[in-house]
Amino acid sequence: MAYLEMSRLALKWAMKRPPTTRYPFRPRRAIAGSRGQLDLDRATCVYCTACAKKCPTGALLVNRAKKTFAIDRLRCISCGYCVEICPKDSLRLSTSHGGPAVTRDREF
Amino acid sequence: MPRTIIPFGPQHPVLPEPVHLDLVVEDEKVVEARPSIGFIHRGLEKLVEKKDYVEFVYVAERICGICSFIHSQTYCQGIESLMNVAVPPRALYLRTVWGELSRIHSHLLWLGLMADAMGFESLFMHSWRVREKVLNVVEATAGGRVIFGSCKIGGVRRDIDAETIKQTITDLDSIEADIAEITKVFINDRSVKARLGGVGVLSRQQAYDLGCVGPTLRASGVAQDMRTLGYAAFKDLDLTPITRTEGDSYARCAVRCDELLQSIRLIRQALAKIPAGEVAVKVTGNPNGEIIARTEQPRGEVVYYLKATGAKNLQRFRIRTPTFANLPAMLQLLQGCDLADVPVLLLTIDPCISCTER
């Protein structure tokens, strides 16, 4: 019987549909609770720079005088530290991972 | 008999990470293996001088992509003992659950790599199919697939709500059934037995003398498991180290197979007993003093040495990772083996070079 252990498993799966998702024809279903890309609610942000000071990778650049918020997507590690310390709860990690970033330019 | 040196790695089909070996062979027998490491040294230990002790949790977690959570947990445990922080019980239980999930995905990864190393491609695919399910559970509970990012000094970053706990238990049922199916193949299949049985035998005394840790040590009959120290929530859980006495590659594979099911039982116990309450406490001040923190990683015992002087940055940080402790055993196993057994023997200790080189 020891010869048949794998054959049984292989036969079982030969009858089934593949467990992999047919990407890109079927996009991946986002998992609730996943830490994706960082989103900012500009209406509530007071540009206090707390997030930029605490960001462990230095991905955020916030200017209080000019009221600008810029993020370097290649540096952001979606750790959620900024979300935790934001006094106005303006930051949020969405479940979507967004499009691929290819340059170091900061996104405003 | 003339001797030849065959270079093995750093690029080799069986190697998930770069390590180089100079294999001194006589005919087809390996006489000596001379290792050289350092291809992926990142100087993470030195980085404590630049990152403050709170930020360093992120660095500690990135030492290794497989035992990521347990690295951050060990680091946090060390800092918490230095600062006398009482971590809330719910956080300890959550750490236990995530630690065990990380052990399951690490062992499944290893089983897949081992199947691949012996040319059993379909079994490799099936192992990683099950691993994908585990990663989905990790993503739903912690938010990341490989980097959990959920441990912090004083507790954990996020809680798991009752509904997610229920869903996790349902998912564990299906994962357990799948694991039982594939481990049956690893343990009973004749070709796996023929490939691994009797290859690389490490006696109990040898394993002990060479300072092995984790499944490599337990497969030789030494019941040493750091989880029995009772860190996190392990003091409340029913845990007996899994051992085998044969000490060969097959025993090391079987120990890992049994540990998969043991980890599932531990997660079930922890989720059933999980107390309500806070998941983190506020930590103020800076650490002072020195400490050693120990935990059980999927590959064995990891030792963290932390030295703080009351400043924001630690003064010294040193890790003894399980692979580093298992390397002398691997070199011992390679002496006198057949050249064709080298890939199997190399993988049998579950080498994690990122951990080793930091």
Whether residue B129 lies within 8 A of chain A, CB to CB, comes out as yes
Give the CATH number for residue B136.
1.10.645.10
- DSSP secondary structure letter of residue A104: -
d(CA B335, CA B72): 36
Interface test with B, best of A20, A21, A31, A51 (most B CBs within 10 A): A31
Buried-state track B75-100, b at ≥16 Cβ within 10 A, e below 16: bbbbbbebbebebbbbbbbbbbbbbb
Q: Do B144 and A78 touch (CB under 8 A)?
A: yes
Given an 8 Å threshold on Cβ–Cβ distance, is A33 in contact with B157? Answer: no
Residues of B in contact with A6 (CB under 8 A): 120, 122-123, 185, 189
- Token look-up 């990690």 returns A93
Instruction: Count Cβ atoms below 10 Å from residue B4 Cβ, excluding itself.
Output: 11
Nearest CA in chain B to A5: B185
Residue A33: name the closest of B65, B149, B106, B109 by CA.
B149
Distance, CA of B255 to CA of B102 (rounded, Å): 17
Using the CB atoms, write b or e for B244-256: b if 16+ within 10 Å.
Answer: bebbbbbbbbbbb
Position B71 pLDDT exceeds 70: yes
Write out the residue range of the structural domain in which residue B203 sits.
Answer: 3-357
The number of residues making up chain A comes to 108
What kind of architecture, by CATH, is found in domain A32-93? 2-Layer Sandwich (3.30)
How crowded is residue B41: how many other Cβ atoms within 10 Å of its Cβ?
13
The DSSP secondary structure of A5-60, one letter per residue, reads: HHHHHHHHHHSSPPSS--TTTSPPPPPTT----EEE-TTT-----HHHHH-TT--E
Contact between chains at B189 and A9 (C-beta distance less than 8 A): no
Tell me the whole-structure pTM to 2 decimals.
0.90
Number of domains in chain B: 1
Compare CB distances from B143 to A13, A33, A84 and report the shortest one's residue.
A33
pLDDT band with cut points at 50, 70 and 90 for residue B193: confident
Separation between Cα atoms, residue B325 and residue B319, nearest integer Å: 11
Mean pLDDT of B237-259: 91
All residues of chain A having their beta carbon less than 8 Å from the beta carbon of residue B147 are: 77
A35: closest chain B residue by CA:
B143
B34-44 residue pLDDT tens: 888 888 888 88
Tell me the two tokens of residue B98. 């995530």
The beta-carbon neighbor of A32 closest among B140, B144, B184 is: B140
**pLDDT of amino acid B177:** 92
Q: Which residues of A touch B132 (CB under 8 A)?
A: 19
Check residue B338 and report its DSSP letter.
B
Q: pLDDT band at residue B81, thresholds of 50, 70 and 90?
A: very high
**With a cut of 50, which residues of chain A have pLDDT below it?**
none
pLDDT at residue A1, rounded to an integer: 53
Chain B residues in contact with A31 by the CB 8 A cut-off are: 136, 139-140
